Amino acid sequence: MNRSLLIVDDEPNVINSLKRQLRREGYEIYSAQSGEAGLDLLKNHNPAVVLSDQMMPEMDGIAFLVSVKEVKPDAVRILLTGYGTLESAMAAIKHSQIFEYLTKPWSGAGIKQTISRAFEHYDLVAENRRLHKITREQNKQLTFMNEHLENLVQERTLQFEKAMHEGIIMLAAAAEARDDDTGGHIRRVRALTHDICRGLGMPPEECKKIGFFSIMHDVGKIHISDSILKKPGPLSAEEWAIMQTHTIIGEKILGNRDFYRTAREIARSHHEHWDGNGYPDRLMTNEIPLSARIVIVADVFDALTHKRALSVEEARSSMKSESGKLFDPEILDVFLDLKIKFPEETFDDAQI
């Protein structure tokens, strides 16, 4: 397991301070006092996490992290700056897609927590890549199998599907961990989505598929900074614009395979409103994919009853007033007829 950390700062006392605070965390720490020196270190080392100061001579932190991305694309990048403005954060996100940015002076607990999350993110991406590699290898094996080896084909197919499901669930859980204070959000949304589909009279396999892929609705938030996701107060216009991009980012994360088509529809369109006032495309009525029209009902209900802690009846009443505005009236009527449960059990993840 890679636990190497590269710290780059032109001030030796900052590097020494960070090393002292992190010495008991079990990291293998390298350091450099300039971007150029940091890039030289990367020729012989493969750090999982790179922490860089922003204000450095010759090569600043953003330029350095852009270069790090080119030579070590898997490294999780963190920016440390004494200029904690929104503009600097947005520039860092836009140009280098950093994992997080921290401001000076930092708190010991805060920097330990951020770096720990960065290593967890690195491990998750590495594990997801491993699963996709297994999937690709299994797919190659299937192409060479004899058509008479039916049992072996079925066994490999099950392994293939299980690997894909594991990757989906891990990615969804990673996104949820960035923005879910209550826990269990994706599980509840999945269960309620499945029940709404069934209430609409959809075929059982379609209910399972939409229910399963509903867990990916906020996967794009994995690329939104914690400074925005976890901001205690209201977002500024610029921050809200960044937050809204999670729908488009989520669609891109899910690629272009037909297998993920429903997941892409949900990720992109689950914030579209029936009256056309949603985002990102301002779709309205039946222009919005059916799967997304269903998931927004489940998602809003769960937010009302868990993040805002409304009762079931209070949430129902609030949502009823949004019929024909936020929600598809037919889907909302089906939802309002449901007997609401809050499941603690998970679905069988081998089924969709």
For the annotated catalytic residues, the residue numbers are: 221
Separation between Cα atoms, residue 61 and residue 39, nearest integer Å: 12
What value, to the nearest 5°, has the Cα angle with vertex 256 and ends 253 and 257? Answer: 110
3-state secondary structure of 177: helix
Handedness of CA 127, 129, 134, 138 (dihedral sign): positive
DSSP structure class, residue 162? H
DSSP secondary structure of 120-152: HHHHHHHHHHHHHHHHHHHHHHHHTS-TT-HHH
Edge to edge, the sheet with strand 49-53 lists: 28-32, 4-8, 49-53, 76-81, 100-103
Instruction: Give the tokens for residue 69.
Output: 């991305």
Task: Give the phi and the psi of residue 29 in degrees, each rounded to 5.
Answer: -105, 130
Q: Which residues contact 166 (CB under 8 A, 6 or more apart)?
A: 131, 349
DSSP structure class, residue 219? G
Contact 197, 294 (CB under 8 A): yes
DSSP structure class, residue 327? B
Going by C-alpha positions, the residue among 272, 253, 178 that lies closest to residue 213 is: 253
Q: Find the DSSP H helices in the chain.
A: 12-22, 35-42, 61-71, 86-96, 108-143, 150-179, 185-199, 204-213, 226-229, 237-244, 246-253, 261-269, 290-302, 312-320, 329-336
**Residue that the structure tokens 């921050």 belong to:** 239
